[in-house]
Structure 1
Amino acid sequence: MARPNEEVEALLQEYADLIAITGGDAFKARAYEKAARAVGGFPDDVSTMDVKALREIPNVGKSIAEKVVEYLRTGRVAAFEETRASVPAGVRELLTIPTLGPRKALALYEELRVSSVAELLDAVRAERLRDLKGFGEKTERNILHGIELMQKAGGRILLSAALEAAERIVAELSRVPGCADCAYAGSLRRMRETIGDIDVLVAADDPEPFMEAFRALPDTAEIIASGRKKTSVRTSTGLQVDLRVLPPDAWGAGLLYFTGSRAHNIRIREIAVRKELKLSEYGLFRVKTGRKVASRTEEEVYARLGLPWIPPALREDRGEIAAALRGDLPDLVTEDDVRGDLHTHTDLTDGVSPLEEMVAAAAARGYAYYAVTDHAPNLYMQRMTDEKILAQRERVRALDGRHRRMRLLHGTELNIGPDGDLDWPDEFLAGFDLCVASVHSHFHQTREELTRRLVRACENPHVSVIGHPTTRRIGKRSGIDADFDEVFRACARTGTALEINSHPERLDLCDEDILRARRYGVKFAVNTDAHSVTHLSYLRFGVGTARRGWLTKDDVVNTWPPQKLRRFLDEGRRRG
């Protein structure tokens, strides 16, 4: 189940959308959006808090706090229900389209009586939207793209949500007597960015206690199928989870088989066939005699096929078998290798947590260094000024070294403007320890304009990292149409690192882009873009994506010792 904080966040965001749909006060809608983000990022469980405690959360006033308590106590908020009832269900369905805002959804309903995604598709194809004020051919293209994004996502969920559910299930089943081993497998173990369903494996002699425990889990909403060796359920959030129980002596073969990918398994089986062996979820067998030759561990199965163990993140049939046969598999970066976070925010701009709390949480993770990079003034809604950022710098300098001798870097996240210009002049940028530069708007420029914009940012000597390079949001917004091969060449030429943004809705760069960029000799920074202390743990998703991109710690600048990182940051300035 979702954390209470996430449930409340979704509720408050929905109400903000409903206010916008019904033409309510824009400031009120914005207040609920801010409160939603603040609650979602708050580290403590809001279900244990009263009105007074909730008001301590940034952007949560008395009225919102009372509504949160009402929801947590009763499962509903009367004021929200009234507003929800005033908006047709079809309009609320239209809001699930990533590129369609609340006002346009209401206009479509009022003017064309469109109340479903299917009806909207028909209206677009019949070119009926073009006569509406504020609509046109470009709007039609955006809507079609949004529907395509939604359909591609289908029933898939983000890696973070799947991992949370899987780890909870594994923990519960591991406590059942007779459990020799328990783990999740499938695309989740390979750390793919979205997951269709979850595969959980148990090694045990008697399957029945595990099937009973699995069916009885509190999050189980529906039993899809139930048998002695496999049971499938659907959780209250609609996620399908499959449990398989294997004999303990088949654990390694089963884990390999059900981890996949299918293409990787086909390659493995081809090697087995050439050696007159047969591979299944129960083991590796001789074809002629049927004798089992390996099965207990993955390492044992791979070794019998003449291969070293291949990390799950690489098992996508993207050259890992050939690399393994050559003895050339990379020593993949791990979360423990990361020595600091180079892109984070505080409540000075759009973060939730104060500077001191973010610094303390970073120190608790054992970091050697940590960068604070609040937004610069060209992202106007953040209301940054020269005076504010300089005052923050003084606070950062005062905190430097106070927490386990962790070094603090004072940086900023610059906005890359439509022409590639940045928020401050070079002489002001020279005062920062680190500058991350990111695209936040004008996503629909031409390919040439977007490419030139990014390349120009790379060429600024004060820019060390390009943040969330493609700007994508998984299932909500596709990446910008730039010539990224040209961008990768510019990064390699200028020594500018590309970010792997660890936020589970971004994971930007994705694994395929990382593989391409790596061939140009680009360096990377795995950052969280944290807006609250809870977001610092997103690092695991970014590292998982980096591993899928075959990266080692030599490729990732924030695994480097402080002195080497400092040289990297200084080299760009010298080139300028």
Structure 2
Amino acid sequence: MARPNDEVEALLQEYADLLAITGGDAFKARAYEKAARAIGGYHEDVSTLGVRELRAVPGVGKSIAEKVDEYLRTGSVPAFEEVRARIPAGVRQLITIPTLGPKKAAVLHDELGITSVEELVEAIKQERLRDLKGFGPKTEENILHGIELMQQAGGRVLLNVAMELAEEIVAELSEVVGCQRCAYAGSLRRYRETIGDIDILAASDDSAPIMAALKNLDVAGEVIAGGEKKTSIRTTKGLQVDLRVVPLQAWGAALQYFTGSQAHNVRTREIAVHAGLKLSEYGLFDVETGELVVSETEEEVYRRLGLAWVPPTLREDRGEIEAAARGDLPRLVTEDDLRGDLHTHTDLTDGVSTLEDMLATAAERGYRYYAVTDHAPNLVMQRMSDEKMLAQRARVRELDGKYRGMRVLHGTELNIDADGEVDWPPEFLAGFDVCVASVHSSFGQSSEDMTRRLVRACENPHVNIIGHPTARLIGRRPPVDADLDEVFRACARTGTALEINSFPDRLDLRDEHILWAKRFGVKFAINSDAHSTMNLGVIGYGVGTAQRGWLTPDDVINTWPLTKLRAFLRKGSRRS
């Protein structure tokens, strides 16, 4: 179920977009955007707060707090509904197209009368957009790609949305009398970046009470199908949940079968056939006698097939079967291996939590070191200055070691400009412990220019990590066009790590790119890119993605002891 904070965040962001479409006050639109981010990352459930408490959320003033309170009490805000009513539904849909912002959507509506995605596609085919200022063939290409992304997303949701719902359902079904085991399976257990539906597996001698409990959950919108062995519901948010109940003695075989992937299961069934066995969700059976061989645990099933147990995140038929047969599957990195987080923000720029709160929460997570990396000045909206950054550095030095002995590194997230340059001159950059450099603009550059831009950033002796390297936003913005072979070579050559950004709408690098980059000898950093204390927990999604890329602790620089990490970060001295 969506958190109230997430619902309010979406509402305020929509209002900001609608203000932009209608030509409203730009300052007001930015205020609502900031408030949306602040509430989305706020640690308390906003539905439990009154106007006074809401005003304590950074970036939320009296007017916005009153509207949030009104929405939470009544389910709507007349001021928002009034703006919605002035804009055709089709135009509101336009702003959901990746790469097409509210300002361009407003131009399309005002100048060409476009009120739907279908009309927009037809206008592009007729080349009608090319007469508009700021539009051209490249813009048309980007819009069409954005529409394609939107259509591909379909009913799929981000990993965190599915995970939160699945964990809630598993917790409730586990309390049902007679439920002996309960877990989620499918693509969610494999940590795929988007999820089409949720598979839940339970073990019980009597399936009826568990099936009934699923149908009666608060999140259950409608029952799609019901039976003794399987029940499917559609949640109130539209996501399908499939529940299967098996006897406890079949648990291992069923969990292996319903975790998938299909390609992985085809390979395991082939191995079974060659051994005179049959593998199904009920167990591994002898073909000739029909006798059950093993079924209670996944480990038993894999062992009887002559394989080591394969971690779910590797089950994509990308070499894991062969490695399991040889007994040389990697020891995958886990969240417990992480000694720190090397990309985080505070309320000095676009974060919503104070430096002290971020450090306290990081220390509670057991980190041994932690980097504060607020935005640099070329991202103008953050209003960074030399003086602000130096004052933060002094405060960081004061707090170093004060939170359960956790060492605090002072860093920054630099902006890689269109030519590959970054904020601040070398002498200023030399004062940071760690520098993350990211692409935040000019996403549509040619492959040649984007490649040169990223390679040049890698060659900067003060850049330690390339943040969210492809700059994608899942379902909203495609990855930049770059020759990744050249970028990965540059990272390996210069000792620049590639980030695995754990934010669920980024997961950047993605798993295929991680596998690809690892072959070049690149090192990685799994970071949260946290903008609030709550965001620090998303790092688990980055770990799952890293596992899908076959990474071990040795591949990930923030699993290393601080002395080894500092040696890696002294990039300039290593190259001199």
Same fold flag (TM > 0.5): yes
The worse-fitting range, judged by mean Cα deviation, of 562-571 and 391-400 is 562-571
Counterpart in 1 of 2:23?
23
User: Which SS does the other structure have where 2:293 is aligned?
Assistant: strand
Match of 2:202 in 1: 202
Partner Cα distance (2:561, 2:111) in 1: 61
Q: Residues of 1 paired with 2:132 and 2:423: CA distance? A: 37
Displacement, 1:496? 1.0
Aligned-partner residue type, residue 170 of structure 2:
V
Q: Where do residues 524-563 of structure 1 align in structure 2 (5 Å cutoff)?
A: 524-563=524-563
Q: Distance in 1 between matches of 2:129 and 2:442?
A: 23
Number of the residue aligned with 2:363: 363
1:422 matched residue in structure 2? 422
Q: Is the 8 A contact 2:462 2:571 kept in 1?
A: no
Structure 1 pair 400/297, CA: closer, same or farther in 2 (3 Å)?
Answer: same
The answer to whether 1:384 aligns with 2:387 is no
**Stretch of structure 1 that moved more, 523-532 or 450-459:** 450-459
Farther-moved stretch of structure 1 (309-318 vs 439-448): 439-448
Rounded to whole Å, the distance in 1 between the matches of 2:461 and 2:448 is 22
What is the alpha-carbon distance in structure 1 between the residues aligned to residue 112 and residue 222 of structure 2?
38
TM-score, normalised to structure 2, is 0.99
Shift in Å, 1:566: 1.4
C-alpha displacement at 1:459, in angstroms?
1.3
Match of 2:573 in 1: 573
Distance 1:213 1:115 in 2: 43
Counterpart in the other structure of 2:521: 521
Structure 1 distance, partners of 2:200, 2:541, is 20
SS at match of 1:135: coil
8 Å contact from structure 1 (residues 461, 574) kept in 2: no
- Quote the Cα distance in structure 1 between the aligned partners of 2:407 and 2:133: 54
> C-alpha deviations, 1:422-445, integer Å up to 9, x for none?
111111111111111111111122
Correspondence for 1:292: 292
Identity of aligned residues (%): 73
Judge conservation of contact 1:464–1:572 (CA < 8 Å) in 2. Answer: no
1:124 aligned to 2:91? no
Task: Identify the residue that residue 431 of structure 2 maps to in structure 1.
Answer: 431
Residue 113 (structure 1) shift = 3.1
2:330 maps to 330
CA distance in 2, matches of 1:422, 1:132: 33
Q: CA deviation at 1:574?
A: 3.0
The question of whether the paired residues in 2 share the 8 Å contact of 1:346 and 1:532 is answered with: yes
**CA contact 1:377–1:385 (8 Å) conserved in 2:** yes
1:413/1:437 contact within 8 Å kept: yes
Q: Match for residue 240 of structure 2?
A: 240
Per-residue Cα deviation, 1:441-494 (whole angstroms, up to 9, x for no partner) = 111222121111111111112111111111111001111111111111111111
| 8 Å Cα contact 1:462/1:573 also seen in 2 | no
Counterpart CA distance in 1 for 2:450 and 2:135 is 24
- Taking the aligned partners of 1:105 and 1:421, their CA distance within structure 2 comes to 32
Letter in 1 for 2:323: A
Cα drift, residue 112 of structure 1? 3.1
8 Å Cα contact 1:159/1:195 also seen in 2: yes
CA distance in 1, matches of 2:65, 2:47: 11
Kindly provide the amino acid, as one letter, of the partner of residue 129 in structure 1: L
Tell me what 1:92 maps to: 92
Give the Å deviation of 1:571: 4.3
Aligned equivalent of 1:470? 470
8 Å contact from structure 2 (residues 349, 383) kept in 1: yes
Question: Is the contact between residue 464 and residue 571 of structure 2 (CA under 8 Å) also seen in structure 1?
Answer: no
Compute the displacement of 1:572 (Å): 4.0
Q: 3-state SS of the aligned residue for 1:498? A: strand
Query: Does residue 114 of the first structure (1) align with residue 114 of the second (2)?
Result: yes
Moved over 4 A (4+): none
Distance 1:414 1:257 in 2: 45
Amino acid across the alignment from 1:510: R
**Matched ranges for 1:443-458 at <5 A:** 443-458=443-458
Matched residue count: 576
* 2:151 counterpart SS class: helix
**Which amino acid in 2 is paired with 1:414?**
L
Q: Is the 8 A contact 2:346 2:358 kept in 1?
A: yes
Provide the secondary structure at the position in 2 that maps to 1:500. strand
**Distance (whole Å) between structure 1 residues aligned to residue 60 and residue 385 of structure 2:** 25
CA distance in 2, matches of 1:108, 1:491: 41
Shift in Å, 1:318: 0.2
Matched residue, 1:281? 281
Aligned 8 A contact 1:219 1:236 in 2? yes
| Secondary structure class of the residue paired with 1:255 | helix
The letter of the residue matching 1:504 is: P
2:178 corresponding residue in structure 1: 178
Contact (CA 8 Å) 1:199, 1:241: kept in 2 or not?
yes
Partner amino acid, structure 1, of 2:26: A
1:148 is aligned to 148
2:340–2:368 CA contact under 8 A, matched in 1: yes
Question: How many angstroms apart in 2 are the aligned matches of 1:387 and 1:186?
Answer: 51
Could you list the runs of 5+ residues in structure 1 that have no partner in the other structure? none
The residue that corresponds to 2:481 in the other structure is: 481
TM-score relative to the length of structure 1: 0.99
Q: Alpha-carbon deviation of 1:104?
A: 2.4
Q: State the 1:561 CA deviation.
A: 1.1
Give the CA RMSD over aligned residues.
Answer: 1.0
1:283-305 C-alpha deviation (Å, 9 max, x unpaired): 11111111110110100100110
Alignment partner of 1:350: what SS? coil
- Deviation string 1:339-371 (CA, Å, 9 cap, x unpaired) is 100000011111111111111111110100000
Q: Is the 8 A contact 1:502 1:538 kept in 2?
A: yes
Helix, strand or coil at the partner of 2:570: helix
2:48 & 2:273 partners in 1: Cα distance?
58
Question: CA distance change for structure 1 residues 176 and 285 in 2, over 3 Å: closer, same or farther?
Answer: same
Question: Does the Cα contact within 8 Å between 2:436 and 2:466 map onto a contact in 1?
Answer: yes
Q: What is the aligned partner in structure 2 of residue 269 from structure 1?
A: 269
Deviation at 1:130? 2.2
Distance between the aligned counterparts of 2:572 and 2:280, measured in 1?
A: 53
Q: How far apart are the structure 2 equivalents of 1:269 and 1:474?
A: 33
Residues of 2 paired with 1:213 and 1:191: CA distance? 26
Checking the alignment, whether the CA contact within 8 Å between 1:346 and 1:372 is kept in structure 2 is yes
Match of 2:301 in 1: 301
Letter of the aligned partner of 1:209 in structure 2?
Answer: P
